[in-house]
Amino acid sequence: MEHLPLRKDRITGTAALIATLLSTVSPSAAQERQNAAAGAAPCPADNGGITLPAGFCATVFADNIGHARQMVFAPNGVLYVNTWSGRYYRNDAPPAGGFLVALKDTTGAGRADVVVRFGPGAESSNAGGSGIDFYNGALYAETNDRIVRYPLPAGTLAPSGPPEVVVFGLPLTGDHPMHPFKIDAQGGLYVDLGSATNACQVANRITGSPGIQPCTELETRAGIWRYDANLRRQRFSPAERFVTGLRNGEGIAFDSTGRMFGTQHGRDQLRENWPHLYTPQQGADEPAEELVELERGADYGWPYCYFDLSQQKLVLAPEYGGDGGKTVGLCANKRAPVAAFPGHWAPNDLLLYYGNQFPTAYQGGAFIAFHGSWNRAPLPQGGYNVVFQPLADGKASGPFVVFADGFAGATKEPGQAAHRPSGLAVGPDGALYISDDQRGRIWRVTYRGSATAAVAAAPAAASRADNSGPQDAVPPEGIHPDAGSRTASTLPTPPGATAADVTLGQRIFEGQVASAPCAGCHGTDAKGSALGPDLTSGKWLWGDGSVAAIAHTITVGVPHPKEYGSAMPPLGGAQLSSSQVSAVAAYLWALSHRSGG
């Protein structure tokens, strides 16, 4: 954990002599020699599938451990990971055993050779969690509606007894039921409680629905709550609220002076819910994701305000009288961020780097794990990366760079991404660890280069040296990216419709017509994600699957989903004519009736 002191590995023999010599030179010179001592061997061929700046290397530390969320190192060098399950992951079956995982590399090979699962598992109706931290000889973890403590005696890899309940009764309803947290050096336990809704509307995520005035949800959600990590059985209540107006914080970290920082997931669906105020481009870009300094009593604006990335200021939300970003109003008195990032990238964790391995330019700066977007459709999705934001004296000291990229693989979409960054930790040797909650992979990022190197961005994933080729190298028959895909011309035609209707429906679904955002929740392949169901399977949650029933569902929307996390506004938030609705319905019928579908 970045704000706790790290115990150094025991050094013996020749290594002890080297350490003694290094202690007589400047820290940067010592780091230079340590990095040189690591050897000049090249990075593994593919860096575990991701791209990094020159001098940085990645290996796969662990794989397939479940939906890995946040992580923490204990002083004994063991990496502890919390994993999650449930509707965010289509209710798939988690690995057998507990949701908490202890990982240890006992051979020095850079890969965990000891993997121990502990704590409650799915068989006990548990769903795991996101938050995890280490304090005063004990491991703290989120599980369902509580935060628990596992004492870890010296030499223990995993606890043997049941945990002690530290906080209970945390809210589990609504859009953001997770409870990430961090503990400061004095035992202050800071818990993020994300909002239950997108924008505190009377009807959540529904086009034109006004905001509740005042937003009573703020009494128990959308903020950081403070508890005492040294106490037991503290019941959640509004009284412990530390800050407010954070829609979904998730990442929390402390700098070397004790200042606390957090991330904020900006609200969704400006375009879908207010199409007369926002263009599709604005819907993709706005609002910004944020890095904020957390101070007791501060108000960061949600749901009344959002941070406009293009204007670099807080503006009034449309649910509360906003006019597409022109009016500031009461937002002039809300707390602006330290740094802002592109909309909908989803900052799931935050780490301030004080390790002893990376160049000095990274000291005290912020690494942020961006889980990746869904709400940029019909424009391309973004995020699915780890960025580095330089900081000095608690302020941004330069532009952010994409530090690690390529996690998603070929397709940046929630349902098709290979991996999605979710958690960050720094090891005793200064290596950076990145978790993935899509397939349960953890990367270990090390550095072998000059300590005086400047901050640099990773190369684009598609331009990696190991998979690049001559720019003009193409097959003689040309390149046809969709040659193997199922186009509308290969799909069946429903009764009463035409092949042209199916073709038009496909173009609307993919966002080529009317800027429809359907693919954001259902994926460009229509096979669904955690936000929306698979539309190709023939299983219909609403209606009988006829063209008429599908068209009716599109028209009226789905304000109260049965199994998925995101409500669908009428017409999907697009401005569709009745003939366009019929075309989309015909296309979806065709997808569910294709041979082999």
Query: 57, 26, 27: which is closest to 448 by C-alpha?
Result: 57
pLDDT(288) > 90: yes
Per-residue pLDDT for 30 more than 80? no
What is the residue-wise DSSP string for 81-99?
Answer: EEEE-SGGGTTPPPPSS-S
Strands 234-235 and 164-168: parallel
C-alpha distances (whole Å) from 426 to each of 16, 217, 400, 572 are 23, 35, 20, 42
Which helix or strand (DSSP H or E) is residue 424 part of? Answer: strand 421-426
Say what the pLDDT of residue 489 is.
Answer: 65
Judge whether 83 and 69 are in contact, CB under 8 Å: yes
Contact 226, 324 (CB under 8 A): no
Note the pLDDT tens digit of each residue in 47-61.
999 999 999 999 999
pLDDT average, residue stretch 373-402: 97
Instruction: Kindly state the helix (H) or strand (E) to which residue 551 belongs, with its residue range.
Output: helix 547-556
Least-confidence region, from 164-173, 329-338, 462-471, 498-507:
462-471
**DSSP-assigned letters across all residues of 113-128:** -EEEEES--GGGT--B
Higher pLDDT, 353 or 90: 353
CA distances from 385 to 231, 344, 372, 416 (A): 37, 12, 7, 15
Q: How confident is the model at residue 42 (pLDDT cuts 50, 70, 90)?
A: confident
Joined together, the tokens standing for residue 164 give 């002690």
Average pLDDT over the chain, rounded to an integer:
88
Tell me, what's the pLDDT at 487? 54
Owner of token pair 């046809």: 480
- How far is 109 from 446, CA to CA, in rounded Å? 13
Contact 191, 147 (CB under 8 A): yes
- Single-letter code of the amino acid located at 337: P
Task: Using alpha carbons, select from 250, 243, 521 the residue that is nearest to residue 371.
Answer: 250
| pLDDT for 312 beyond 90 | yes
Q: Do residues 301 and 334 lie in contact, with contact meaning Cβ atoms separated by under 8 Å?
A: yes
400-426 average pLDDT score: 97
Task: Give the model's confidence band at 24: pLDDT under 50 very low, under 70 low, under 90 confident, else very high.
Answer: very low
Minimal CA–CA distance to 56: which of 353, 432, 399? 432
Task: Tell me the sheet residues that pair with 142.
Answer: 147
Which residues are 428's β-sheet partners?
none
Rounded Cα–Cα distance for residues 325 and 46 (Å): 43
State pLDDT tens for residues 223-258: 999 999 999 999 999 999 999 999 999 999 999 999
**What is the band of 492 on the pLDDT scale with cuts at 50, 70, 90?**
very high
What was the pLDDT predicted at 507?
87
CA proximity to 99, closest of 47, 158, 46: 158
Average the pLDDT over each of 11-20, 78-87, 406-415 and give the range with the smallest value: 11-20
Distance of CA 412 to the CA centre of its chain: 13
Q: What is the pLDDT of residue 88?
A: 82
Where do the domains of the chain lie?
A: 13-463, 491-593
Instruction: Tell me what pLDDT residue 488 has.
Output: 62
Q: How far apart (Å, rounded) are the C-alpha atoms in residues 180 and 300?
A: 18
Cβ atoms of residues 52 and 102 within 8 Å: no
3-state secondary structure of 457: coil
What number of other Cβ atoms are within 10 A of residue 196's Cβ?
18
CA dihedral sign of residues 91, 97, 102, 106: negative
CATH homologous superfamily of 491-593 equals: Cytochrome c-like domain (1.10.760.10)
> 13-463 has which CATH code?
2.120.10.30
75-108 pLDDT tens trace = 999 999 999 998 888 888 999 999 999 999 999 9
Q: Are 420 and 412 in contact (CB under 8 A)?
A: no
- Whether the per-residue pLDDT at 439 is higher than 60: the answer is yes
Amino acid occupying residue 280: P
Residues 6+ apart with CB under 8 A from 137: 151, 152, 153
The model's pLDDT over 444-454, given as tens digits with 9 standing for 90+, comes to 999 999 999 99
